[in-house]
């Protein structure tokens, strides 16, 4: 059974954000437009990787286009979105795969977030070939380079807003400290 495609071309708003307290946060991508609001859950590392790869993609496009490039070198303050996620935040699906592309014709970035692949039925014979067609849900947004830079800046800020790292091992600190591997299993700094 084919999944749903949630497409925004372009969205009125496309942001990364969290729900919950540091150490217990759930990360989301949220797109809205045309009276629709879609929130998809993903991991912190996915948000960080998306922000990093967006910047790398835009830097490469800018490099290839040279002096005539319309891609900004950095995010502009007037496009920065600092508002919280739009409520209610209801998870449409959990992201398994993220994909990025540059559409040369429109001069836009395409971001795709695909749901985790559904498990195959245990009754499916092993020697039967699996379908190569993706059947899960997908969020696809087309955004301008300026919006992509602003998205990346916000995503980096959201990721960094978590628990501070331990100065000894780099693992996240809880309010009551943590068992630090550099302290041979003893409680690390608070």
Specify the higher pLDDT residue, 161 or 101.
101
pLDDT for residue 107 is more than 60: yes
**What phi and psi values does residue 138 have, to the nearest 5 degrees?**
-145, 135
SS3 4: coil
Note the pLDDT of residue 118.
61
pLDDT the model gives residue 185: 63
Query: CA Rg, the chain, in Å?
Result: 20
User: Which pLDDT score, from 0 to 100, does residue 127 have?
Assistant: 47
Helix segments in the chain, DSSP class H = 44-65, 145-160
Question: pLDDT over 70 for what percent of the chain?
Answer: 85
Tens-place pLDDT, residues 140-171: 999 999 999 999 999 999 998 877 777 777 77
pLDDT score of 122 more than 70: no
Tokens of 29: 């991508």
- Alpha carbon of 54 to those of 119, 147, 156: distances in Å? 30, 11, 11
| The pLDDT of residue 126 | 44
Strand pairing category for 108-115 and 138-143: antiparallel
Domains of the chain as residue ranges with CATH: 5-118+134-164 (3.30.2450)
């Amino acid at each position: 059974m084919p999944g749903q495609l949630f497409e925004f071309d372009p969205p009125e708003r496309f942001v990364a954000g969290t729900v919950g307290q540091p150490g217990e946060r759930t990360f989301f991508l949220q797109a809205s437009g045309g009276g629709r609001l879609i929130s998809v859950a993903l991991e912190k590392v996915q948000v960080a990787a998306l922000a990093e790869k967006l910047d790398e993609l835009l830097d490469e496009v800018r490099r290839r286009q040279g002096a005539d490039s319309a891609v900004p070198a950095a995010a502009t303050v007037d496009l920065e979105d600092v508002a919280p996620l739009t409520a209610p935040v209801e998870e449409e699906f959990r992201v398994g795969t993220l994909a990025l592309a540059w559409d040369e014709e429109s001069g836009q970035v395409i971001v795709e977030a695909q749901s985790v692949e559904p498990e195959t039925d245990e009754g499916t014979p092993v020697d039967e070939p699996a379908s190569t067609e993706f059947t899960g849900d997908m969020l696809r947004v087309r955004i301008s380079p300026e919006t992509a830079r602003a998205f990346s800046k916000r995503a980096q800020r959201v990721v960094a807003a978590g628990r501070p790292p331990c100065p000894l091992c780099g693992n996240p600190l809880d309010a009551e400290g943590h068992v630090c591997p550099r302290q041979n299993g003893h409680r690390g700094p608070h």
